[in-house]
Structure 1
Amino acid sequence: MSSASTDAGPGPVVSGPVVSGAAATGAVVTGVGVVAPTGVGAEEHWQAVLAGKSGIGRISRFDPTSYPVRLAGEVPGFAARERVPGRLIPQTDHWTHMALAATQAALADAGVDPGELPEYEMAVVTASSSGGTEFGQHEMERLYTKGPSWVSVYQSIGWFYAATTGQVSIRHGMRGPCGVLCTEQAGGLDALGQARRLLRSGARLVVSGGTDASLCPYGLTAQLATGLLSTEQDPGRAYLPFDAAASGYLPGEGGAILVVERDAPDGYGAIRGYAAGFDPRPGSGRRPALRGTIERALADAGVTPGDIDVVFADAAGVPELDLAEAEAITAVFGPRGVPVTAPKTLTGRLYGGGAALDIATALFALRDDVIPHTVGPTRLAPGCELDLVLGEPRDTPVRTALVLARGHGGFAAAMVLSDLHHISRTGNISRTGK
């Protein structure tokens, strides 16, 4: 499957089965759990987004004075001992602690008791970017300063990128197909895309989404190697996607875990379409994957560009990446053809947790008929012909949303969400009022 060609050459290959109609409504998000810089709890996060309340500040998990990046999005007031079984705390990383807490909240929100469901019909698929970097750093410090006998036996699993999936599966007795997607910022969408596949192949319920936590010296140093982080010291000017003054992005921690069920009669919304792609080799003359990925996701959902009410942008905050995304959106929707927003300026980019948090935010936008605004940007960069929602939330009917994500190294993903009340029995989008 390849997308339409342009003057730059044929598009990259993208994945995502073209399935429209009633089959596309089978994956319904029924529960949301959020642990993010904007708040611990889904509603706390949503109200912070609507108020434009930023979770960006000076890094406090360690002293960042000697680092060029000193700002990040940290989860406020999260105490693992209050939310995670005590025996699991020394066995797992901060990243997994947050995911366990978010999973518990999502299951409660969905009204699901895993003990009442067949264990092999429940699955877990999460996204991970860096795994347990803080846990790993501490154990390496013990190795180098005290010797091998001081290293925890849990080092063998605590750092592992699949640790969160495994711990959630064990804790809740979910013994169906389990896995992890490692595609950096795109991972949250890829994990949910896999969740939809599992539901179609017989699973009843999938716990999906992701969290991340690389705010330790080891983790931050690894991120600096990309050259994409902002070194601006003013929290209000450090992360400005699509802005003429964009200088990179800020890192963050946290994310969202979602409960996705097969053919649930009610919920926050349905996963209507999904596609993934990978950028071609630099210098190949072929265009980036994002445009084709968007087009395939729309086709998978059985919708047209005119059906999309809002785009939640990837919003890298890096001038060349912003321009490439703006050009992809404009190519599909036309100049200023659809409202675009990027609430992640309030949290920083959360890597494995970022796209999952965008999905949660988009679902609340569907529920409440409001497009959250993008805090920070004031003057669009040349070539970014977007209807970027600025200043305040935009009250408007929101029935179908498109969420975009790109991961460092070339990953791209797109997902279409729809309000359940506007999907007819044939699987088509209904444009009637809520």
Structure 2
Amino acid sequence: MSGSRAPRAVITGIGVVAPTGIGAEAHWKRVLAGEHRIAPISLFDATPYPCTLAGEVPDFDAQAWTDTRRIVQTDRWTHLGFAATRLALADAGLAEAGPADPYAVAVTLASSSGGNLFGQRELQRLWSQPGRTVGAYQSIAWFYAASVGQLSIAHQFKGPCGVLAAEAAGGLDSLAHAVRTIRRGTPVVIAGGTECPLSPYALACQLRSGLLSTGTDPDTAYRPFDAAAAGYVPAEGGAVFVVEDLDHARARGAPVIYAEVLGWGATHDGRHTTPDREPGAGHYARAMEVALRAGGAHPDEVALVVPDALGVPGYDRAEARALRSLFGPTTPPVSTQKALTGRAHQGGAALDVATALLALRHDLLPATAGLHRPAAGCELDFVREPRRPRGDLALVCARGFDGFNSALLLRRPPR
């Protein structure tokens, strides 16, 4: 730290592994094309379930991203994390393993539900086979901190490591924690998160919430803020980022600086998430207000809002109220692509950050997906056609189940 000035944290690498493709370029291309990537679930037979659709990462081969030994020890959500991390490191121009100072790189990811497919397989073996055993890696692979541990070991990153558990809000909280870690003296932090909530048990848990869409048309099953909204479609994937001290990034000649993490805010409603009770908007709006205040920004300066976009009518209305309470009747442009991909919990929030970064980078706001007619109470300035942003600030928002609220403010560097 120079004098009393706190280090500035910037994002220098993006790794996307999502239904829209593997790599930031593939994701951005499909977002601009408005290409729906929701399809019937293929990871297991979902035909007996009311919800049969999901967003799955296409043509994902774990062996292309890590070795066989780690594959058998870990779940698919960690495999996705291996891929996203390698992509982020390559994008940032950083070594994948054996950094000169391993204590200069930390890992702080978010987690929602852990290793679902691995746990499902092992527990089915426990209860259905005579041996009544589980594999030696069961306690590791489905643990919510498994990806953080495995990635730090694989890449020999020995800085302060941790995991954030706040459902979708954790995808933003991980970047906020990364900034704190940088301000405490660690120059590089791997942040973000991936998810794979697609197993019979995981799907049953989500169905129990009453928030899932049971639509059968992949193009219309998930329609946030729309008059026909009827729940969300689950998804896997997410994004991982290299968050870096600005001085460190400049000194090493980082190829790209996408944006500065300018501010963040987090609050909690203290209320259980249910489909029949419309949540309040006050705490959510406060998280956004705190993010702007922490970044020294005025609401009028925000050029893009990426919302949580749950697709449940009451929650969409509450999110619209929160935005209007902060910005007034005329909100900044609002854009969400979850109708293309599904909702990947904390991985989805991280993916929203990637989309916002790419929008700032390309100076282009992508059109909102899946919106035909806004529902009553959800009248916002939705981006209907791609347009140029009027400013350099993007606000990404997320609500985690059972009361978590987070907002992250990003600023594009000067041209």
Q: Give the letter for the 2:81 counterpart.
A: A
TM superposition score normalised by structure 2: 0.93
User: Is residue 417 of structure 1 aligned with residue 391 of structure 2?
Assistant: no
Distance 1:376 1:286, change over 3 A: closer
2:301/2:391 contact within 8 Å kept: no
Work out which of the residue numbers 403, 406, 425 in structure 1 matches 2:396.
403
Q: Residues 57-84 of structure 1: CA distance to partner in whole angstroms, max 9, x if unpaired?
A: 1111111111000111010000111222
Work out which of the residue numbers 274, 286, 297 in structure 2 matches 1:292.
286
1:275/1:297 contact within 8 Å kept: yes
- List aligned pairs for 1:2-151, cutoff 5 A: 23=6, 26-113=8-95, 114-147=97-130, 150-151=133-134
Gaps of 5+ in 1: 1-20, 422-433
Q: Give the letter for the 1:387 counterpart.
A: D
TM superposition score normalised by structure 1: 0.89
The RMSD of aligned alpha carbons is 1.8
SS at structure 1 position matched to 2:168:
helix
Residue range with higher mean Cα deviation, 365-374 or 394-403? 394-403
Instruction: Give the Cα–Cα distance (whole angstroms) in 2 for the partners of residues 111 and 347 of structure 1.
Output: 28
User: Is residue 267 of structure 1 aligned with residue 249 of structure 2?
Assistant: no
Residue range with higher mean Cα deviation, 124-133 or 368-377? 368-377
SS at structure 1 position matched to 2:158:
coil
Q: Give the letter for the 1:418 counterpart.
A: R
Which residue in 2 is equivalent to 1:389? 383
1:366/1:398 contact within 8 Å kept: no
Instruction: Give the Cα–Cα distance (whole angstroms) in 2 for the partners of residues 411 and 26 of structure 1.
Output: 26
Instruction: Give the Cα–Cα distance (whole angstroms) in 2 for the partners of residues 209 and 117 of structure 1.
Output: 23
User: Is residue 203 of structure 1 aligned with residue 186 of structure 2?
Assistant: yes
Which residue in 2 is equivalent to 1:14? none
- List aligned pairs for 1:164-179, cutoff 5 A: 164-179=147-162
Residue 376 of structure 1: CA displacement? 1.2
SS at structure 2 position matched to 1:341:
coil
Distance 1:286 1:129, change over 3 A: closer
Residue range with higher mean Cα deviation, 235-244 or 316-325? 235-244
Residue 298 of structure 1: CA displacement? 0.2
2:109/2:192 contact within 8 Å kept: yes
Instruction: Give the Cα–Cα distance (whole angstroms) in 1 for the partners of residues 294 and 42 of structure 2.
Output: 43
Residue range with higher mean Cα deviation, 183-192 or 116-125? 116-125
Residue 150 of structure 1: CA displacement? 4.2
SS at structure 1 position matched to 2:394:
strand
Q: Give the letter for the 2:353 counterpart.
A: I
Instruction: Give the Cα–Cα distance (whole angstroms) in 2 for the partners of residues 156 and 375 of structure 1.
Output: 39
Which residue in 2 is equivalent to 1:328? 322
Residue range with higher mean Cα deviation, 138-147 or 302-311? 138-147
Distance 1:55 1:287, change over 3 A: closer
Q: Residues 5-32 of structure 1: CA distance to partner in whole angstroms, max 9, x if unpaired?
A: xxxxxxxxxxxxxxxx974x71111111
Distance 1:290 1:93, change over 3 A: same
The list of structure 1 runs, each at least 4 consecutive aligned residues, that deviate by more than 3 angstroms after superposition, is: 147-150, 280-283, 285-288
Work out which of the residue numbers 213, 223, 226 in structure 1 matches 2:209.
226
Which residue in 1 is equivalent to 2:253? none
Residue 340 of structure 1: CA displacement? 0.3
- List aligned pairs for 1:235-274, cutoff 5 A: 235-263=218-246, 264-265=249-250, 266-274=256-264
Q: Give the letter for the 2:141 counterpart.
A: G
Residue 395 of structure 1: CA displacement? 2.9
Instruction: Give the Cα–Cα distance (whole angstroms) in 1 for the partners of residues 361 and 339 of structure 2.
Output: 22
Work out which of the residue numbers 297, 306, 331 in structure 2 matches 1:337.
331
2:281/2:322 contact within 8 Å kept: no
Distance 1:416 1:295, change over 3 A: same
Gaps of 5+ in 2: 251-255
Work out which of the residue numbers 99, 118, 136 in structure 2 matches 1:153.
136
Instruction: Give the Cα–Cα distance (whole angstroms) in 2 for the partners of residues 355 and 412 of structure 1.
Output: 12
SS at structure 1 position matched to 2:221:
coil
Distance 1:73 1:199, change over 3 A: same
Q: Residues 248-273 of structure 1: CA distance to partner in whole angstroms, max 9, x if unpaired?
A: 11000000010111112351111000
SS at structure 1 position matched to 2:230:
coil
2:280/2:318 contact within 8 Å kept: no
SS at structure 2 position matched to 1:349:
coil
SS at structure 1 position matched to 2:330:
coil
Instruction: Give the Cα–Cα distance (whole angstroms) in 2 for the partners of residues 240 and 22 of structure 1.
Output: 45
Number of residue pairs aligned between Structure 1 and Structure 2: 400
Distance 1:214 1:148, change over 3 A: farther
1:369/1:397 contact within 8 Å kept: no
Q: Percent identity?
A: 52
Work out which of the residue numbers 352, 355, 364 in structure 2 matches 1:358.
352
Instruction: Give the Cα–Cα distance (whole angstroms) in 1 for the partners of residues 182 and 204 of structure 2.
Output: 39
2:197/2:344 contact within 8 Å kept: no
Residue 336 of structure 1: CA displacement? 3.1
